Structure formats: structure tokens, C-alpha cells
């Protein structure tokens, strides 16, 4: 299922041991919700919560513009740059929006 | 939001609708939208009004709240009732009725239960309450599992000792297979989930086309996404093809998000079996925590009743979830069972077919009832 990583999608990372180590994971204390999606279900994010990356922060976090305000989200799983549009689900970016 | 105008153009919708009608050619096509998000879009935007009569949309099991069996809710409440526990979960979960009531009922009875938007918020609660045991009831398909997995990695890296996860993550493909294997199944094609596929990609659905001869189109969530995906499904039917196509290429890479899949694999492992509301017990259909994360696993840390609880007799969620009846055909729909006082899970989440229909579909229901009586 996970075969076939596209080039540039998955940067090299340290070999982990014990679990969670080697990722440079930080203590974060202000991770907010993604954009309020109105009547949308936050469990499954039935509407694309697309946000724009404003700034990258330590610990795989990013400050993003949700259209309704600014939030801090985790970008551990997606390689992002300032200005990218990303899809955020339950506080975690899970994909980049192309085009 | 970007794309709203591009993907909601009435002119293009009318054009697509006409092309769909031409392709359908008066025939009957039964299409299941797997994802509750699509169900929500279909009702909210009245997509069915733009389709010819022969196209029947059937709502699938893709709402994680709706497929939670009552016994798991009771287990979660049993954890919340333990001393010094702060239970956290998503808002929708708080209203799901179990055999002994919901999280909200337990909260009213004195349990410390808090709504969070993200598992990272639960982590924050744990940091701020070192003398409490903070448990996050995790639910969701592969869309939400990466967030839980990343949170587990953060908790492990921090060495947090008062944080645990009650893991109820479920997998979409085994559920689709269970539907395809059900006796009497007569579906002609599937709208594939969009955001789940951002994580798992489109490739895992290939068994649907290869082994069952059904087309599947991974679809976005805007009205034109849905219409285009239905058009593509019909095109395959007309041309006698059964393939997996990806309509939602702006966020779904064919191979998915490999980094997200990797963190899921590092922290979680498929369970031998899991009970789904409406679909019964499905092998390899859910995720539990890996042995390496036992210190964070609420199922290992707490004694759980683990009881199988029968659904209320009047509730027909199982038939709704498997597409046998439309929401309004359930005996308690909109009367005893409403979003404010749900009896069944399908009425809880806005992605649930019953809740979506209740919110947006009353006009249609009136018309359908009048039509049936005429």
C-alpha cells in the first residue's frame, strides 16, 4: 500500500528507536483546531479544510491561514513550504493541494 | 475557500447533468458513495435533483461515528468512569448513544469528558494535568489515523506517562469488500472516498474492479466533483470497463501519502477482527496499537467490559448503512430519532445519512411521500 513514494515526497529521516525518537519531536503547547468547518463533521472532515501555510515553526508545526483566522497545525507528514496550500484533518496536514 | 466558485458553477453542472442523462440512457444504475462526506455533499447541494431517475445513489458505511458499535461506547465510558481519568474525544462522539447512554450522559453524571478538535489537543490536556490520566478516544478511517499516529509519536518522544489512546480506527477497504460480499448485493459502481484516499491513495481499491468487476472513481467533495465522478462511472459502464479512476487528483496522489502510511504502520497494527455497526464483524478491518506502544494503549491499561450490545430494536441503522433502506424509510426517522436526540448513530454525525437527510432532504421526502400516495 505504501510502495512507490514519489520523489521529493518523503525526505530522509532518522532511524527511530525507541518509538518517537529521532524525529526531533518537540513539546508543543498551542495546537489549535483546523478551520471551523461549519456543519461539517470534524471527525472525518467532510469538506476539504484547505489552508495556506504562513510560516513554518519548530517541531513540524506550521502557522496557517484558514480563511477565517490563523491556526497552528502539525505538518509532520507533509513536506511544506510557505505559501503552499495543504489539506488539514484533525490538526494534522495529510496532503498538499496541487494547482 | 479556493475552488468554491470553480467547482460549484451551475452552468457546468447543468452541462454535466445533461451528459450524465445521455449516458444513462434510461437505464438503472445503482451507485454507492462510500464516504459520509459525499453523502453530506449530495444532500446539501441537491445533487440527486440533477440526476436522471435511473441513477440511484446508495449511502455507504463511510461515517466513522455511524459504524461504531454500542459496546465500544460503553467501553469508552467505563474508562471515563475510572478515578483520575480525563476522557477526550471529537465532538460528534460525545452524543453517540451506547448501551448505557452517551459520553454526554456520563459527563452529566460527573465524569470529566472534554471535546477536542485534534488528538494534539488531548496531548496538551495531558501535559497540563500531570496528576490525571488523559485518554483520547480515537475514531475515524485512514483520514484520522495519521493524526493519532503522529500524536502517539510525539507523546513517546516527550515521555508522557499520563496519556493513552482508546483506538477505534477502522479501514475502508475491508468494509467495501464486506459490502461486495453481502448476499443480494447489486451495486453497479462506487464513488471512492476522497480524503481517505489522500492517505492510502487510489491503488488499494483495485480489487473492486479486478475481483468484482465494478468501476470505482475516487471523488472530490464539491458538487462538480461528484457529478464528474458519476459521469466517469457511467462512461465506464457504457464502454464495458471496470477500472479505478482518480477524479480528485488535486489532493489524491495514486500512491497516497507514504509518510502518513509509515507513521500509521509504526504505531498501529490491524486487529484480527472488529465489530461494525450494521456490517457485523469484519476481519482485518480496524487498527489497534502496536506492542511497542502498549504504555499508551487504553485497552491494555484499563479493564474493559468488552460486551456486545444489541442495537435498539426500533433502530434500523444497519439497513441504512448497507443501503437496504433510505433514511426516511426507518420507522423512527425524524420522530423519535432526531439529531438532538439520536437513537441510532446515523443521526448523530452530519456525515450520517440520516442526519444529512434530516437536515437537507425534507422537501424531497415530502415529494416522495406525496408521489407514493398519488
User: Please, what are the domains in chain A?
Assistant: 31-99 (2.30.30.140)
pLDDT of residue B201: 97
Q: Do B259 and A78 touch (CB under 8 A)?
A: yes
Rounded Cα distance between B183 and B243, Å, is: 23
Check if B199 contacts A (Cβ < 8 Å).
Answer: yes
pLDDT of residue B214: 98
C-alpha cell at B80: 471515563
Give contacts of A44 with chain B, Cβ < 8 Å: 35-37, 62-64, 140-141, 143-144, 195, 349, 351
Check if A23 contacts B (Cβ < 8 Å).
Answer: yes
Given the cut 0.90, state whether the ipTM is greater than it: no
Residues 48-67 of A with CB under 8 A from B: 48, 50, 67
* Residue pairs spanning A and B at CB distance below 8 A: 209
Cis peptide before B330 (omega within 30 of 0): no
Of B64, B146, B267, the CB nearest to A92: B146
Q: How many CB atoms lie within 10 A of CB B262?
A: 17
Digit-coded pLDDT (tens) for B57-103: 988 887 888 888 899 999 999 999 999 999 999 988 898 889 999 99
pLDDT of residue B40: 84
Residues of chain B with CATH 3.40.50.11740: 70-171+256-299
Rounded Cα distance between B84 and B64, Å, is: 28
Q: Is the pLDDT of residue A40 over 90?
A: no
**Topology (CATH) of B70-171+256-299:** Rossmann fold (3.40.50)
Segments of chain B with pLDDT less than 70? 1-4, 362-374
Q: Do A6 and B253 touch (CB under 8 A)?
A: yes
pLDDT of residue B271: 97
Q: Is the pLDDT of residue A2 over 60?
A: no
Digit-coded pLDDT (tens) for A45-72: 444 578 999 999 999 999 999 888 888 8
Q: How many residues does chain A have?
A: 99
Q: Is the pLDDT of residue A37 over 70?
A: no
Residues of chain B with CATH 3.40.50.11750: 10-65+181-238
C-alpha cell at B137: 478516544
Digit-coded pLDDT (tens) for B3-27: 567 788 889 999 999 999 999 999 9
Of B64, B117, B255, the CB nearest to A44: B64
Task: Calculate the CA dihedral of residues B358, B312, B348, B137 and round it to 10 degrees.
Answer: -170
C-alpha cell at A18: 525507541
pLDDT of residue B366: 57
pLDDT of residue B318: 83
Q: Is the pLDDT of residue A7 over 50?
A: no
pLDDT tier at A21, thresholds 50, 70, 90 = very low
Give contacts of B65 with chain A, Cβ < 8 Å: 41, 43
pLDDT tier at A25, thresholds 50, 70, 90 = very low
pLDDT of residue B210: 98
Q: Is the pLDDT of residue A75 over 70?
A: yes
Rounded Cα distance between B322 and B304, Å, is: 29
CA angle at residue A13 from A9 to A16, to 5 degrees?
A: 135
Contacting residues for B237 by C-beta, under 8 A, at least 6 apart: B23, B29, B188, B189, B215
pLDDT of residue B173: 96
**Topology (CATH) of B10-65+181-238:** Rossmann fold (3.40.50)
Amino acid at each position: 500500500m505504501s510502495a512507490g513514494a514519489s520523489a521529493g515526497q518523503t525526505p530522509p529521516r532518522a532511524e527511530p528507536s525507541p518509538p518517537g525518537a529521532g524525529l526531533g519531536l518537540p513539546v508543543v503547547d498551542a495546537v489549535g483546531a483546523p478551520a471551523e468547518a461549519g456543519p461539517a463533521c470534524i471527525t472525518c472532515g467532510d469538506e476539504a479544510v484547505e489552508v495556506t501555510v504562513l510560516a513554518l515553526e519548530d517541531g513540524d508545526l506550521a502557522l496557517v491561514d484558514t480563511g477565517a483566522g490563523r491556526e497552528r497545525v502539525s505538518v509532520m507528514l507533509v513536506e511544506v513550504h510557505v505559501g503552499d496550500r495543504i489539506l488539514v484533518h484533525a490538526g494534522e496536514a495529510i496532503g498538499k493541494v496541487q494547482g | 475557500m479556493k475552488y468554491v466558485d470553480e467547482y460549484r458553477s451551475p452552468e457546468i453542472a447543468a452541462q454535466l447533468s445533461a451528459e450524465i442523462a445521455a449516458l444513462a440512457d434510461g437505464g438503472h444504475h445503482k451507485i454507492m458513495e462510500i464516504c459520509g462526506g459525499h453523502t453530506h455533499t449530495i444532500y446539501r447541494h441537491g445533487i440527486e435533483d440533477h440526476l436522471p431517475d435511473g441513477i440511484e445513489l446508495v449511502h455507504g458505511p463511510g461515517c466513522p461515528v455511524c459504524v461504531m458499535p454500542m459496546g465500544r461506547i460503553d467501553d469508552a465510558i467505563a474508562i471515563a468512569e475510572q478515578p483520575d481519568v480525563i476522557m477526550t474525544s471529537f465532538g460528534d462522539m460525545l452524543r453517540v448513544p451506547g448501551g448505557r447512554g452517551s459520553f454526554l450522559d456520563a459527563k452529566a453524571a460527573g465524569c470529566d469528558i472534554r471535546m477536542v478538535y485534534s488528538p494534539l489537543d488531548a496531548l496538551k490536556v495531558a501535559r497540563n494535568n500531570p496528576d490525571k490520566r488523559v485518554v483520547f478516544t480515537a475514531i475515524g478511517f485512514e483520514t484520522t489515523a495519521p493524526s493519532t499516529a503522529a500524536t502517539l509519536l510525539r507523546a513517546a518522544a516527550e515521555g508522557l506517562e499520563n496519556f493513552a489512546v482508546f483506538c477505534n480506527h477502522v479501514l475502508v477497504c475491508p468494509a467495501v469488500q464486506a459490502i461486495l460480499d453481502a448476499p443480494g448485493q447489486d451495486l453497479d459502481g462506487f464513488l471512492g472516498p476522497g480524503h481517505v484516499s489522500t492517505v492510502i491513495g487510489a491503488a488499494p481499491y483495485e480489487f473492486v474492479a479486478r475481483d468484482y468487476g465494478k468501476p470505482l472513481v475516487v471523488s472530490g467533495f464539491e458538487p462538480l466533483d461528484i457529478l464528474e465522478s458519476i459521469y466517469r462511472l457511467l462512461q465506464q459502464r457504457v464502454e464495458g470497463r471496470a477500472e479505478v479512476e482518480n477524479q480528485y487528483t488535486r489532493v489524491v496522489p495514486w500512491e497516497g501519502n507514504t509518510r502518513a502510511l509509515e507513521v500509521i504502520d509504526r504505531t498501529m497494527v490491524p486487529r484480527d477482527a472488529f465489530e461494525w455497526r450494521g456490517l457485523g464483524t469484519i476481519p482485518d478491518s480496524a487498527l489497534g496499537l502496536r506492542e511497542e506502544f502498549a504504555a499508551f494503549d487504553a485497552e491494555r491499561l484499563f479493564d474493559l467490559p468488552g460486551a456486545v450490545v444489541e442495537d435498539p430494536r426500533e433502530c434500523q441503522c444497519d439497513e441504512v448503512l448497507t443501503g437496504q433502506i433510505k433514511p426516511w424509510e426507518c420507522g423512527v426517522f425524524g420522530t423519535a430519532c432526531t439529531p438532538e436526540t439520536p437513537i441510532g448513530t446515523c443521526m448523530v454525525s452530519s456525515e450520517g445519512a440520516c442526519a444529512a437527510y434530516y437536515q437537507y432532504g425534507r422537501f424531497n421526502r415530502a415529494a416522495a411521500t406525496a408521489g407514493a400516495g398519488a
